[in-house]
Amino acid sequence: MKYCGEYDKKDSVIIFWVDSQFEYCNWNELFNRNDILNRGIAGDITSGLLGRIEEVCRHNPSKIFIEIGTNDLSMGLSIVDIMKDYERLIEEIQNRTTAKIYINSVLPVEDLPGENYQNTEILNLNRKLKDLCVIKKMVYIDLTEKFTNDDSGNLKTEFTTDGLHLNSAGYLEWKKYFCRF
């Protein structure tokens, strides 16, 4: 897998700009292609993406897939503040590139004692993200139903290593959605 510094500006790539739930996948291997750039950073938050906007846009991406918000919620950031950062991020991308932007729903997690994020907050954030995509005429990729355990509302155990991060089965399931775009 190539990382940002390994691409020249002339490259037109697909960028996954994600948090650690998606970071650990080798996207090039999963899709058998060499034009995918993984910008996932463990612990990243939405405002962190804003700090790296130039680095991502310099690659002349054709598509940018964004999935971030879990860490924002775990740090106690409000949905209002997260959405302000999303709106600014989208505006900055659109001002710098012609890339098509895809917003992935934030995946549920296993509700763990002592963590600030709860699946109810993730669902509320996802509703706001979906509304934003309608307003901005962007694609919203809703992964919630497929990845959520109907009984508990938690991330399905078959798709996770630890209640938060996806395992290979989770990445394969997500691939089914990605192939539509």
The residues spanned by each domain of the chain are 4-178
* pLDDT band (50, 70, 90) for residue 37: confident
The predicted pLDDT at position 7 comes to 45
Q: Which pTM value belongs to this model?
A: 0.86
- The correct answer on CATH 3.90.1150.10 for the domain covering 4-178 is no
Q: How many CB atoms lie within 10 A of CB 130?
A: 16
Q: pLDDT at residue 87 above 90? A: yes
Q: In this predicted structure, which of 16-20, 27-31, 75-79 has the lowest mean pLDDT?
A: 27-31
- In the DSSP assignment, the letter for residue 5 is G
d(CA 51, CA 66): 15
Query: Are 132 and 103 spatial neighbours (Cβ–Cβ below 8 Å)?
Result: yes
Burial of 159 per CB tally in 10 Å (0-12, 13-18, 19+)? buried
Q: pLDDT at residue 176 above 70? A: yes
pLDDT digits (tens, 9 = 90+) for 109-129: 987 666 666 888 999 999 999
Exposure string over 82-121, b if 16+ CB within 10 A, otherwise e? bbebbeebbebbeeebebebbbbbbbbbbeeeeeebbbeb
d(CA 173, CA 85): 28
Query: Are 83 and 73 spatial neighbours (Cβ–Cβ below 8 Å)?
Result: no
Rounded to the nearest integer, the mean pLDDT of the chain is 86
d(CA 116, CA 10): 42
pLDDT digits (tens, 9 = 90+) for 140-154: 999 998 999 877 889
